[in-house]
Amino acid sequence: MKSCGKPRADELPKKKNEPASITSVFVTYWEKFDGKIWFPTYSKADEYLPFPRHPGHTREVMKYSNYKLLAGK
């Protein structure tokens, strides 16, 4: 399964000296684990972010692996 989106809405500064809070769009791939539970296995964001003071390119890659079920009591 694939999902795509931002973790939250961007926040541009209301005043000149306040910092901006801009996030990238992530694409996340999910796989079924143990035939019943979906877990993320790979997330990627590769984007130019238009920060007011210092615009720039950002790239983030996250890989998840070795999921293990915990035994319940």
Q: Is residue 57 part of a domain?
A: yes
Note the pLDDT of residue 69: 76
Q: Is residue 71 part of a domain?
A: no
Note the pLDDT of residue 33: 84
CA distances from 23 to 1, 30, 38, 50 (A): 22, 21, 25, 10
Mean pLDDT of the chain: 87
Looking at the 3D structure of the chain, how many domains does it have?
Answer: 1
Distance CA 28, CA 24 (A): 12
Q: Is residue 17 part of a domain?
A: no
- How does residue 53 score in pLDDT terms, banded at 50, 70 and 90? confident
Q: Is residue 44 part of a domain?
A: yes
Identify the domain containing residue 36 by its residue range. 2-6+23-63
Note the pLDDT of residue 62: 93
Side chain identity, residue 56:
G
Q: Is residue 48 part of a domain?
A: yes
Question: For 14-46, how does the pLDDT look when each residue is reduced to its tens digit (9 = 90+)?
Answer: 887 777 888 899 999 999 987 888 999 999 999
pTM: 0.72
